[in-house]
Amino acid sequence: MEYRFLGKTGVKVSKLCFGTMSFGHEADEATAAAMYQRCRDAGINFFDSANIYAGGQSEIILGRLIAGHRDEVIITSKAFFPTGPDVNARGASRRHLRHAVEASLRRLSTDYIDIYYIHHFDDFTDLEETLRGLEDLVRQGKILYPAASNFAAWQIEKALGIAQHHGWTPFACIQPMYNLVKRQAEVEILPMAQAEGLGVVPYSPLGGGLLSGKYGVNRQPEKGRLVENTMYRTRYGEPWMYEVAERFTRFSQEHGYEPAPLAIAWVASHPAVTAPIIGARNLEQLEGVLKALEIPMTPDLREKISSLSPEPPPATDRSEERTPYSMVSR
């Protein structure tokens, strides 16, 4: 297993992070335990969770699994989305973050969380309020590193500026969506992360299963997130995405790869990425995605895969700057 530094923290994490969203939902406790042990056997020391996964069961199961070797693993959790019917059981206020962390610590049976993400930018809470809440939790030793998931680049930069101004602990890493059909992160988020020295732990490297080899223009399985979940159908519902999936599957087969691990290896090969989050519903599925560790993603292979999907325009929309016809060419 290759281990990489998580941003500027000095902490080393495995090249892949295992996401526990299936724990307590698609994967019962016995299946979760088998997958966790397989990940540990493969050298994975990085496990991602959130307070809303399986109504909190994901954290409970993960907490049982890490017992006895807590300090050997890096665990994450998140807060933002509703955790109950109360009007304040949501968001990124200092009040909610305090309650959310305490509840996660109980479920995880631990006294600290390594990386704690704000799961989504809160349009209704002052960012300074959120960051002060995170700083309180750092000083109390309940979280070690604040982090951000689903933030835009400007939101992350604003947060870094506020933290620096007050001398608070800054975000250590970010968790953007990133895969072959969702490449917006390449425009500003990933370059910003490189410039600021942030760890990057992308989620959904398979596009909700779209890039698993099971989907095409006129082909889909009977079950799966893109079939059963309205949110995922909406997120990956554009026809061109299925065209990309079909081209990618064909390319994988022609070059002797399985689509799922190749898609993960492509995400992991971006120079800004620390560790993509992989997930699985069962041990067989996990074995498939772990094959990403065996794929040597050369620059040439990455370029060929990248050409299968539209490259997003540059932040300034000056597309000519990627050609020899730019006024700034040297």
Residue of 239, 282, 249 whose CA lies nearest to 36: 282
Cα–Cα dist 292/202, whole Å: 15
Classify 55 as helix, strand or coil. helix
DSSP labels, 213-264? TS-BTTB--SSSHHHH-HHHHHHT--HHHHHHHHHHHHHHHHTT--HHHHHH
Assess whether 117 carries a catalytic annotation. no
| The two three-digit tokens of residue 201, written as one number | 């732990």
| The two three-digit tokens of residue 327, written as one number | 């006024």
Residue of 6, 12, 37 whose CA lies nearest to 280: 37
Q: Which of 36, 53, 116, 117 is catalytic?
A: 53
Question: According to DSSP H, which parts of the chain are helical?
Answer: 29-42, 57-66, 94-108, 127-139, 153-166, 189-196, 225-228, 230-235, 239-254, 259-268, 283-290, 299-306
Cα–Cα dist 291/299, whole Å: 19
Q: List b or e across 122-136, with b for residues whose CB sees 16 or more CB atoms inside 10 angstroms.
A: beebebeebbbbbbb
Cα–Cα dist 215/244, whole Å: 10
Order the strands of the 17-19 sheet from edge to edge: 199-200, 173-175, 143-149, 113-118, 74-79, 46-48, 17-19, 277-278
Cα–Cα dist 286/173, whole Å: 25
| Catalytic positions, written as ranges | 53
